[in-house]
Amino acid sequence: MKKIEAIIKPFKLDEVKDALTEIGVYGMTVSEAKGFGRQKGHTELYRGAEYVIDFLPKLKIEIVVDDSMVEKVVETIANAARTGRIGDGKIFVIPVEDVIRIRTGERGPEAI
Ligand SMILES: Nc1ncnc2c1ncn2[C@@H]1O[C@H](COP(=O)(O)OP(=O)(O)OP(=O)(O)O)[C@@H](O)[C@H]1O
Ligand SMILES: [Mg+2]
């Protein structure tokens, strides 16, 4: 099992969620996040002065899936979240040791 952690532009959430639902993703967690990539935030002009915004608002999506689903999920997120401009985000794939469904006590892939 793997956790796919995607940082995306907030306005892309609906599109990403719909695309993931279509390929059969059953659950996901979404949190508000702030961050920067290699441009280190960006510079904005406000009343004639330049302000550097260090942390831009992003959304973090977390999805745990069976290994067999990883490539499909990564591809689906990337396609739905892409605008082609800087700051589109990043996807991390992380190994998951175990999953426990609290209500039933099921463990492992069955619990996803
Ligand atoms: N190495 C990283 N570790 C953790 N979070 C990251 C990393 N790189 C990017 N992020 C997160 O992803 C968000 C978007 O990153 P971003 O798309 O700007 O990456 P980038 O490498 O600068 O690519 P691009 O040149 O397309 O902008 C950041 O605001 C940050 O929250
Ligand atoms: Mg960037």
Provide the ipTM.
0.96
Q: What is the domain count for the chain?
A: 1
Residue 97 CA, distance from chain mean position: 20
Which residue stretches of the chain have pLDDT < 50?
A: none
Q: Identify the domain containing residue 76 by its residue range.
A: 2-111
Which pLDDT belongs to residue 39?
Answer: 77
CATH (domain of 15): 3.30.70.120
Task: Tell me how far the alpha carbon of residue 55 lies from the centroid of ligand 1, in angstroms.
Answer: 11
What are residue 82's phi and psi, to 5 degrees? -80, 130
Cα 70 to ligand 2 centre (Å): 24
Contact in structure between 83 and 9 (CB atoms under 8 Å): yes
Copy the structure tokens of residue 109: 């892939």
Instruction: Pick the residue whose CA is nearest to atom 12 on ligand 1.
Output: 89
- Which pLDDT score is estimated for 51? 63
